Chain A
């Protein structure tokens, strides 16, 4: 089962590079996504943890939560890609900003890289050996960099180069962190231990505290780069705004969580060693910094895809703060990961629709979406409301849980700063979104010959937003069990 979750997309991805015609390639993408999702769903029914490869791979509550997010989003994105890779995308495209024409990379490369991306993300979520985890996180970078450069022009190239370089260098630090951890394990017995989670958790008290702390810091900075924590987030807005919209959705919804998972694993080791507070303080610091930083940059944002990207920086901040506080806030953080992924992926897909019609990422050029594309416009508004944490959407619940945790722990400063950043983000995003949704379309945008709302392009984000709405009203039993179990693993649930 575990092996199938990794090997299936890996093999399909390898094969997809050689399929030159359109239909079989897309069918392969969709079929693999569906089977992967089915397998993930089947894992829910099995008793946890499901162990494979002599303990190196396993699905515990944390893995299963993040794996389900990645797998579900991938299925949504695969469906949406059927629309996105439509025949009209083949012709040279006129760049809206500078007026040159560019082409996309071949579909085969796009589909192959997408599937390899899924395989590497599955490996991240399922690996219980920190060395394997590192290898898998670096693999996600390599598989997704060509995706960011799908549109062949100089801005996407710049974004992909920055992404590749900053993340690779950042993750090198995490590798050094792994080595520090290995040194820490050898302090008690003089013998290094295997870096699998059960071994680490069982022996954590024997480790050298200094080296363990240093290892945590290196991993926090290293994986934090990938996760988009400020001030290491600089690659994120560029990559998210220049990548094709389905890829942005995956990067924001699934990839950031995977990097977060790596940090969470290390935090559990710190907890087991009795140094949990050290890690939590740092998580709160970087979390609040990210939220504040993102909120400031949201105010003056003129591109709507960049706005969504900065909102992602803000939300990973929320997750980091939630885990940092612990208790009920940790459950909030886990729920937040789920909600944010669904909502943000939906928004990026809707942004893809808007971009396809208006041919501009500039907020100024986009007016009156509701008039031009009623369904897309409605989804845009709903998505923005959801992602800014308004009731009755799921993010309201999860952010409230984090806030409640902060207040319950008596951390008034954290709660205050948290709330201030959220309000600031809400005001600036809602203002921009309202301007875009209402108002008169300027001088008839280069409107398409086809009808503006296409079935698939609306259906997929509608389902995602619907899920966030349902999660806001009622968290189903098994989901809540999984979330609390995952939160308990990272020090929640007291």
Chain B
């Protein structure tokens, strides 16, 4: 906060200061203030050790999370993002007090807003085309004979292209004295004799009512302001629980199947990985086995490779026509036909589980080995003296102790895989599309990739409110799983007593 105030003050003196310098100023102000406070209140000392972490956590984690939760109760979307909608610029044919008459009211595109264009911010412009004398044009920089008149903002430049026979207009990127930098360079040589700069004046108003082509503003326009155009803002607003209601209404085609696959994916992948992990772990735990450290080192290679790379490579291996998985399967006649791994929902689900086994087996194997090495050898000897066979020793000693040790690991694995976005996004991209789903909830989409699709890939920009609502659901589930985990492991128990 101090930083923003500091920057606001400093910007008056140095207008080019970048905004992030606020963080620096805030830090300096904070440190000096803290030093004084600590001399007065000794009890605050522990907080000083935690403070740097808390500052960053508040700024870059808590704050975005809170903002996201707020957005879950709004209709925020690409078409409603709070920004000025330049595309909605519509010509004004007449202005009288607070009443404007529009040439084409459809241009405002009020339909995408919740209440139409009622109680919506707008910019009213007064445009004028100014003929200017140009000395030259080079690399999208236009050099004028004299600077533009003060008072109004230059917005666009209109150049006539004699070769093509029409005018080319582009927004101005920068104005520096007589040098105008164009947003886009003209495609062909323009006629430099007839260059016109669009000068604009604008006032901020609020649209209070709209009826056909007539529109009411909240306040009259200033004297002498000739309104020529108006553009509205992409207003968004609080809509209560409507996003959650939408999710429930569409649950049949998205929430329920996605949730079911999400849970079964996490459970199945943990079951499969644990089964193979226990098998390998028990085999490698055999003290008679020579080279077992070498084997262990070799077998963890999928864990040692960055998964962002291996997952994308697997995507190629699973290609239907030339991937090696199908080539091997076909070579040994294991499947009669090549499997369309990424194109059929069931096969894609199998591919996800298969790749996750390859990726996750080293972790499980190491975890099992760690748990097994913690079992004292004396237990086995005691069992053998009591006359137990090796098989009985396994089921009587190893299995129960292993089970206790594996519960927290499988729960952690469940929580991790429940939100394993990288795997789904980079391997199958949620696909393939299925007829029981929607365009955002497809064959292998899990909750988090579905939320991502809703938020960032739906038509017309992003339905971020809806995506945020799903994220809250995911958060609740993850926290619940973790609470169970903490209760079992007692990871937080001793903390609460102190």
| A, B from the same assembly | no
Q: Mark A residues whose CB is within 8 Å of B.
A: none
